[in-house]
Copies of this chain bind each other. A is one copy, B any other.
Amino acid sequence: MTIAGRTYRSRLIVGTGKYKDLAQNAAAVEAAGAEIVTVAVRRVNVTNPKEPMLVDYIDPKKVTYLPNTAGCYTAEDAVRTLRLAREAGGWNLVKLEVLGDQKTLYPDMIETLRAAEALIKDGFEVMVYCTDDPIMAKKLEELGCCAIMPLAAPIGSGLGIQNPINIRLIIEQAKVPVLVDAGVGTASDAAIAMELGCDGVLMNTAIAEAKDPIRMARAMKLAVEAGRLAYLAGRMPKKKYADPSSPLSGLI
């Protein structure tokens, strides 16, 4: 998976929220084989040396930190947050999310488009959380976003891909990577996303809130690989009736 000119072997991006502690978070990243972690700029502790710091657990030299704008509800808020992040940590590759309300945590696509435009003009490489609306996804790509990240279902819902048709339409038209960003609940959800042709999957709650997060992280690593391979392999056609595995004609 190549994003903003940099190639990753892993197609699984994981989050850094909701874990028991930073050690568990780091172990999950390791088990998931993730090469990118996303970090809520507003939430992560980067300045108070008395509190535990993520960078002591997940080495930014080995794992790409992808700052995100979780908690931002306007374009201005999101742009300001990412400028602060760039000043503090030099991060240029970012994940933009501008939320529309607290019940759904769906993106406000108007604000998202405005923020994306401002950030790209400002030199950021923008991966963008968006609805599964193909028309909006195209506008974001035309603005210059380097990855399109449609939601599968509400953030943290674990419901899996609600509208595979829209995800497929977005993939068919996109020339940049498409990653499913929210709503994955278990391994098969991730496999389905990849079988549709996604370039990758981003998840947080599905791992962090599994009973055994480390084991689920391993499951997700394998599921993403399985789904990718199945997509590349080209699945058998679906058939309405049965078709014997062992044709016996003329044998007995």
Flag if B133 contacts A133 (CB, 8 Å): yes
Return chain B residues, CB-CB under 8 Å to A138: 100-101
Return chain B residues, CB-CB under 8 Å to A118: none
1/0 per residue, CB under 8 A from B, across A125-159: the answer is 00000010111101100000000000001111111
Flag if B219 contacts A229 (CB, 8 Å): yes
Complex: A208 Cα to B110 Cα, angstroms: 36
Binds B, one of A3-11, A58-66, A86-94, A181-189: A181-189
Flag if B155 contacts A100 (CB, 8 Å): no
Residue A223 interfacial (CB < 8 Å): yes
Kindly state the interface size class of chain A when it binds its partner: 35 or more
Flag if B243 contacts A205 (CB, 8 Å): yes
> In the complex, what residue of chain B is closest to A224 when comparing beta carbons?
B226
Please judge, given known A-B contacts A40-B246, A108-B135, whether A239 and B162 are in contact too, CB under 8 Å.
no
Flag if B246 contacts A187 (CB, 8 Å): no
1/0 per residue, CB under 8 A from B, across A185-215: the answer is 1111011100100000000111011111101
Q: For residues 203 through 246 of chain A, which have their beta carbon under 8 Å from a beta carbon of chain B?
A: 204-206, 208-213, 215-216, 218-223, 225-230, 232-246
Residue of B70, B104, B239, B247 near A135 (CB, 8 A) is: B104
Residue A43 interfacial (CB < 8 Å): yes
Flag if A210 contacts B223 (CB, 8 Å): no
Residue A109 interfacial (CB < 8 Å): yes
Flag if A235 contacts B252 (CB, 8 Å): no
Complex: A219 Cα to B234 Cα, angstroms: 11
> In the complex, what residue of chain B is closest to A188 when comparing beta carbons?
B191
Copies in the complex: 4
Flag if B108 contacts A18 (CB, 8 Å): no
Return chain B residues, CB-CB under 8 Å to A251: 42-43
Flag if B240 contacts A230 (CB, 8 Å): no
> Could you say which of A107, A135, A216 has the most chain B C-beta atoms within 10 Å of its C-beta?
A135
Return chain B residues, CB-CB under 8 Å to A220: 226, 230
Complex: A229 Cα to B163 Cα, angstroms: 26
Flag if B246 contacts A71 (CB, 8 Å): yes
Flag if B158 contacts A241 (CB, 8 Å): no
Please judge, given known A-B contacts A219-B229, A230-B219, A245-B18, whether A239 and B133 are in contact too, CB under 8 Å.
no
Given contact pairs A187-B191, A226-B226, enumerate 16 new A-B contacts (beta carbons under 8 Å): A17-B244, A17-B247, A43-B248, A103-B242, A105-B244, A155-B244, A156-B239, A157-B239, A186-B230, A210-B230, A211-B234, A215-B233, A216-B233, A221-B226, A222-B222, A222-B229
